């Protein structure tokens, strides 16, 4: 039996976290959560994920700053980071990709598509 793929959800909205956590756990992923950049860094140090669903609008250090930090660190640069934001404005996807994100999802997340999106990001 293979170990479940570790995924970290970084989001400050409890409703978003519960929904994403439920969907991903139902698919067999080992899901951890963090409500801000500091919690995310602690979680990553304790339990390195293969993929991070990163909210862009976080309290304190925002998701793009955290992404740049993770992609600059040799220990974490290979983690797939998927930006997720409710504030989808023109140019946001380009900014997320320029910060180092490997993908971009808009909120509300399409719960029917999410498992396929995650599988696709993990495969690439």
What domains are defined for the chain? 6-123 (3.40.50.2300)
Q: Quick one: pLDDT at residue 18?
A: 95
With 0-12 CB in 10 A as exposed, 13-18 as middle and 19+ as buried, what is 27? middle
How many Cβ atoms sit within 10 Å of the Cβ of residue 107?
Answer: 16
| pTM of structure | 0.93
Radius of gyration of the chain (CA): 13
Residues in the chain predicted with pLDDT less than 70, given as ranges, are 1-3, 87-88
Q: Quick one: pLDDT at residue 1?
A: 41
Report d(CA 96, CA 56) in Å as an integer. Answer: 8
Q: Quick one: pLDDT at residue 91?
A: 80
Contact 47, 22 (CB under 8 A): no
Q: Quick one: pLDDT at residue 54?
A: 97
Report d(CA 70, CA 56) in Å as an integer. Answer: 14
Q: Take residue 17 and report the two structure tokens written for it.
A: 């976290």
Contact 80, 51 (CB under 8 A): yes
């Amino acid at each position: 039996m293979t170990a479940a793929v570790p995924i970290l959800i970084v989001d400050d909205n409890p409703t978003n976290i519960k929904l994403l956590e439920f969907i991903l756990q139902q698919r067999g992923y080992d899901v951890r959560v963090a409500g801000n950049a500091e919690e995310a860094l602690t979680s990553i140090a304790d339990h390195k994920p293969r993929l991070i669903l990163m909210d862009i609008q976080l309290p304190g250090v925002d998701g793009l700053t955290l992404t740049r930090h993770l992609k600059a660190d040799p220990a974490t640069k290979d983690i797939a980071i998927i930006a997720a934001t409710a504030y989808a404005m023109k140019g946001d996807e380009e900014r997320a990709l320029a910060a180092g994100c490997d993908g971009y999802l808009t909120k509300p997340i399409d719960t029917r598509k999410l498992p396929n999106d995650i599988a696709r990001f993990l495969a690439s």
